[in-house]
Structure 1
Amino acid sequence: MADSAAPNPPLTQARSLRPVAFGADPAGERLARIRRSPHFADGVFQNPDNPEGPRARPSGSRLDFAKRYFQKEARRRRRPAGPIPLHPTTAEDLARPPADGLRLTWMGHSSVLAEIDGRRVLFDPVWGRRCSPFSFAGPKRLHDVPLPLTSLGTVDVVVISHDHYDHLDLPTIRALASTDTVFAVPLGVGAHLERWGVPSDRLHELDWWESTRVGDLRLTATPARHFCGRGLRNQQHTLWASWVAESPSGHRVFHSGDTGYFPGFRDIGAEHGPFDATMIQIGAYSEYWPDIHMTPAEGVRAHLDLQGGNPHGVMLPIHWATFTLAPHPWDEPGEGTLAACAEAGARAALPLPGEPFEPTAEEVPSAPWWRTVARVRASTPGPAAEARTAAPADAPGAAAAHRAEPSGKAAESPG
């Protein structure tokens, strides 16, 4: 006869001991749905057009990478010489509706507030000081958050591209979970959010090419080439995605999440484009992981693919100038985007963090603001001066850096 006071099964014990920032593994019907996905095979999610498997392997040795990454001059160039300027946007500015119904505000890295015909979509919100499971180590912000979350006003839906720390931030999600917003996430990511307090009835969990509606706004999860993982083990049981948001009036925007370049951008554009604006990852690239992050030139190529080969709409470069996640100089993605857009005849918006702009307007922010920063020397310590170089948060093999107990401390905005 079983003892009624017997301890919990090992699986339950392990789950209770797992650091909360690691999230949770999919189980039950969620795991069954994952296993039914046409993109899940051999026990893992598979990348599109990638015969080598679900996770791109780094080219070159770890020793070669370490020598380059920690070289003194290279480290210096990965941080701005002075404070990164922020646009002085206020809650009142965001309360005024955009003239044409569409407005984007880049909040740094991949975080973008998209206002689309009366609906507010917040992509990949990260308001924490570090993209890390703990507060004392890991990549630290190069600039403050432009606005506190409470100044954004009502957010109708939070859209998450994948579960890496620089895109899915525990304190930010917990703050948003206390509001009435709903969450649209790739398949499997909902397990993390439920553990952090998001009710299941506020989750829209999608496979690639599946759509959901938030009011009259249609959201579609579309393919990307990347990988996933937050804890000690990366089981590839959570999907990664890019996203399309479309309104009944015809406004369309695309958010790339993290991805390597792949021919599928043309398919996304053919199905959902052309777009008024594309938000394209152009930072944290390296020859050591060429298949999971795009260079600026590849990002512009993806933008054109999404537009049917034509220089339609505006490209907003994202995933740069906020966290140091790769060996390249901090401002190189901006320069590379300018050059690639000029060569291709594409139109880029280059706002300061926190600067709203309307993609359909005659003029969009286009000044290379980072050049002024690069010429200035910081006179007082701040986020730029304090930022420590750390191993890339989502580079292959970086999960080993996330093995300490995370802090539960929330930081709505640093500093």
Structure 2
Amino acid sequence: MTSYDGPVSDHFDGKTFFDPHGVPPKSLGDVLRWQFGGWRNRQQWPDWVENEHADTPPARVESGVRLSYVGHASWLIQASGQNILIDPVWSDRVSPFSFAGPKRHNAPGVAFEKLPKIDSVLVSHGHYDHLDLPTLSKLAAKFSPRVITPLGNDVTMRRANSAIRAEAFDWHHRIELVRDLAVTMVPTRHWTARGPFDRNRSLWASFVLETPAGKIYFVCDSGYGDGGHFRRVRDAHGPLRLAILPIGAYEPRWFMKDQHMNPEDAVKALGDCGAQQALAHHHSTFQLTDEAIDAPVKELDVALDAAGISREKFVALKPGQVMEI
């Protein structure tokens, strides 16, 4: 299934997208080798973990930036009187099926009914733990927000629900939200698919959000590679006030390292992008890979200590916790 029809570029061959600085995703054979050959290494997660926190956001934030961690890769960002969601997922499963696939192990840190009016939504790519059509449809029905996404993902959204106000953009495109708030699509070391026959038919991206309090770099999914993606963002968009970096879904490394960072990689990425501070995400909500539910946060502390970096510089919030800058 083709999701995008456009001109050939340095990362689109006329049919599929690719990362000129990355590597292709693993083959179906490798997927089967992992799923059926390595199941003994898969750690058991608790069925459910009660959250220690629950956020009730204000209607608007006019000064500074308020970041509320919803869980996994979902965030509510409030700045300049605007309310922005990043990769919103309120569904119980991240799967094409409502009855099977990875399920939630904790509640969203902000209950859907407590969301303020949402103005814009940023969706990084088509994987089900980032592009959640049921949530986008609920947001469209309640708030009708602008939905900004990389090329091709708009087709996926509109095919499912024409009420989703999707707008698609290429890497390096800057989109103004309001006068002093803008977002730029930046390359990231990843891939995308929603089924067996649409691999890389849509684009994937991370985001640099310009705010009055500084620039925030949202890395929604990425491998580390040689760190070049992060250094290029530093050079093009620095200085960065804050980086949101993924630390989960990384085991087994032979399978995951090219597309997902582990905590040690994320600490190196922080150094490469040069952000003043970092927050961690993409962990402890959906079991997508083999590591234990608490392994990413524990290993982040180990990696920070080994690098001689204060643990206060790179913090893993829990769902419902808030940071203000």
> Is TM > 0.5 for Structure 1 vs Structure 2?
yes
Q: Report the equivalent of 2:246.
A: 281
Alpha-carbon offset, residue 126 of structure 1? 0.5
Return the structure number with greater relative CO, CA threshold 8 A, min gap 6.
Answer: 1
Bigger drift between 166-175 and 191-200 goes to: 191-200
- Cα deviations by residue, 1:155-188 (Å, 9 ceiling, x for unpaired): 1210011000111111101011122310110011
Counterpart of 1:353 (choices 290, 311, 319) is: 319
- The answer as to whether partners of 1:47 and 1:55 remain within 8 angstroms in 2 is no
* Structure 2 residue matching 1:106: 3-state secondary structure: strand
**Cα distance in 2 for residues equivalent to 1:126 and 1:193:** 14
Q: Report the equivalent of 2:182.
A: 218
Counterpart of 2:5 (choices 31, 35, 38) is: 31
Q: Report the equivalent of 1:303.
A: 270
> Structure 1 residues 139 and 305 mapped into 2: Cα distance closer, same or farther (>3 Å)?
same
- The answer as to whether partners of 2:125 and 2:205 remain within 8 angstroms in 1 is yes
> Structure 1 residues 333 and 31 mapped into 2: Cα distance closer, same or farther (>3 Å)?
same
> Structure 1 residue 177 and structure 2 residue 159: aligned?
no
> Structure 1 residues 48 and 281 mapped into 2: Cα distance closer, same or farther (>3 Å)?
farther
> Structure 1 residues 64 and 278 mapped into 2: Cα distance closer, same or farther (>3 Å)?
closer
> Structure 1 residue 290 and structure 2 residue 257: aligned?
yes
> Structure 1 residues 189 and 110 mapped into 2: Cα distance closer, same or farther (>3 Å)?
same
Counterpart of 1:47 (choices 19, 22, 33) is: 19
> Structure 1 residues 65 and 110 mapped into 2: Cα distance closer, same or farther (>3 Å)?
same
> Structure 1 residues 82 and 45 mapped into 2: Cα distance closer, same or farther (>3 Å)?
closer
Q: Report the equivalent of 1:68.
A: 38
- The answer as to whether partners of 1:245 and 1:253 remain within 8 angstroms in 2 is yes
Alpha-carbon offset, residue 95 of structure 1? 3.3
Q: Kindly report the root-mean-square deviation, in angstroms, between the aligned alpha carbons of the 2 structures.
A: 2.4
**Number of positions where the alignment pairs a residue of Structure 1 with one of Structure 2:** 316
Unaligned 5+ segments in structure 2 are: none
What's the TM-score, normalizing by structure 1?
Answer: 0.71
User: Which entry has the higher C-alpha Rg, 1 or 2?
Assistant: 1
**Cα distance in 2 for residues equivalent to 1:126 and 1:231:** 19
**Cα distance in 1 for residues equivalent to 2:46 and 2:238:** 36
Alpha-carbon offset, residue 31 of structure 1? 0.7
The runs of 4+ residues in structure 1 deviating greater than 6 Å are 58-61
Alpha-carbon offset, residue 128 of structure 1? 0.3
Alpha-carbon offset, residue 289 of structure 1? 2.5
Alpha-carbon offset, residue 66 of structure 1? 2.9
**Cα distance in 2 for residues equivalent to 1:290 and 1:215:** 37
Unaligned 5+ segments in structure 1 are: 1-23, 361-415
Alpha-carbon offset, residue 58 of structure 1? 8.5
**Cα distance in 2 for residues equivalent to 1:332 and 1:58:** 27
What's the TM-score, normalizing by structure 2?
Answer: 0.89
Alpha-carbon offset, residue 59 of structure 1? 9.9
- The answer as to whether partners of 1:106 and 1:356 remain within 8 angstroms in 2 is yes
**Cα distance in 2 for residues equivalent to 1:292 and 1:59:** 17
- The answer as to whether partners of 2:60 and 2:116 remain within 8 angstroms in 1 is no
